[in-house]
């Protein structure tokens, strides 16, 4: 595995592989890797000749009161994990933006609700950094996790709208043995918080197991199950438009975001 930090060097290296006909796969991350990230890298590994992973904690997607400075980091461990799943190039830029960076990529409508409502500007930061990373790596295929389901939908729309020649693959959400969705932020949970965090998945399971076509009835069953300090949303939406549904008569997605202690957690399930 080759590790590169310089933007120009990374782009030159990867464009050379593409000129030689290699199919480039890409998994962007913010580091502090867990099995969920590694599952995405394995998916990408099977779909490409040269696998690239990036580690960059993107400041553009953090709000003024969010945990940018406290976001967990462990580059040495992350490097070993990337190598263990067959990453060929690890891109670890100290910064991605020039001092006069002045371009923002925005996907409208899909970013209005769910996490976009409680984290204004978050998805502008996500799409801007992903677009820049796509410009550097120029992958043929990129893999993103269904854990961040809204993010996956937004990136798919960005790629479609901008006619980027990149296949976007969604990787299934990975859970711990107790059912908690894997997240780098789970390290912040104490034993009591973790027990309460499990109620998010329990609520989603209740929604999935209900036979009612009525969204309001399913949500009424699920809301009392969530034992969080605050709930940003518990919603059932169309899987691609992310618009709230009233009746379930086809594919749908149930999503939840809540604060448990000082930690904001998200989870979702397909219906």
Phi first, then psi, for residue 166 (nearest 5°) are -130, 130
pLDDT band at residue 248 under the 50/70/90 scheme: very high
User: What is the percentage of the chain residues whose pLDDT exceeds 70?
Assistant: 100
Work out the mean pLDDT of the chain and round it to a whole number. 97
- The token duo for 127 is 């799409």
Answer whether residue 25 shows pLDDT above 90. yes
pLDDT band at residue 153 under the 50/70/90 scheme: very high
Which domains can be identified in the chain, with CATH numbers? 2-171 (3.40.50.620), 184-270 (3.30.1300.10)
Q: What is the pLDDT of residue 42?
A: 98
Task: Report pLDDT digits (tens) over 72-117.
Answer: 999 999 999 999 999 999 999 999 999 999 999 999 999 999 999 9
pTM of the model: 0.96
Average pLDDT over residues 148-163: 98
User: What is the percentage of the chain residues whose pLDDT exceeds 90?
Assistant: 96
Task: Report pLDDT digits (tens) over 35-49.
Answer: 999 999 999 999 999
Distance between CA atoms of 217 and 96, rounded to whole angstroms? 46
Q: What is the pLDDT of residue 67?
A: 78
What are the residues facing 85 on neighbouring strands? none
Residues with catalytic roles: 37
Answer whether residue 65 shows pLDDT above 80. no
Name the region of 244 (left: φ>0; alpha: ψ -120 to 50; beta: rest).
beta
Q: What is the pLDDT of residue 75?
A: 97
Distance between CA atoms of 127 and 116, rounded to whole angstroms? 12
Q: Which residues contact 267 (CB under 8 A, 6 or more apart)?
A: 147, 173, 181, 200, 201, 204, 255, 256
């Amino acid at each position: 595995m080759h590790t590169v930090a310089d933007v120009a060097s990374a782009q030159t290296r990867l464009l050379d592989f593409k000129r030689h006909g290699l199919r480039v796969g890409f998994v962007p991350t913010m580091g502090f890797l867990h099995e969920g990230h590694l599952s995405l890298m394995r998916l990408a590994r099977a779909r490409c000749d040269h696998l690239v992973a990036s580690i960059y904690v993107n400041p553009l997607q953090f709000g003024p009161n969010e945990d940018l400075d406290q976001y967990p980091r462990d580059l040495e461990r992350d490097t070993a994990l990337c190598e263990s799943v067959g990453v060929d190039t690890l891109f670890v830029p100290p910064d991605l933006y020039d001092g006069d960076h002045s371009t923002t990529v925005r996907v409208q409508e899909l970013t209005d609700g769910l996490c976009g409502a409680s984290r204004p500007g978050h998805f502008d930061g996500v799409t801007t950094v992903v677009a820049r990373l796509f410009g550097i790596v120029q992958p043929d295929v990129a893999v993103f996790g269904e854990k961040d389901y809204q993010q996956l939908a937004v990136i798919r729309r960005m790629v479609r709208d901008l006619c980027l020649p990149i296949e976007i693959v969604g990787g299934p959400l990975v859970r711990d043995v107790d059912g908690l969705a894997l997240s780098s932020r789970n390290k912040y949970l104490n034993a009591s918080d973790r027990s309460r965090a499990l109620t998010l998945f329990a609520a989603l399971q209740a929604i999935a197991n209900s036979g009612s076509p009525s969204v309001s009835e399913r949500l009424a069953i699920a809301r009392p199950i969530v034992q969080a300090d605050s709930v940003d949303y518990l919603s059932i939406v169309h899987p691609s438009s992310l618009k709230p549904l009233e009746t379930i008569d086809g594919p749908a997605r149930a999503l939840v975001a809540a604060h448990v202690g000082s930690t904001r957690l998200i989870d979702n399930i397909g219906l």
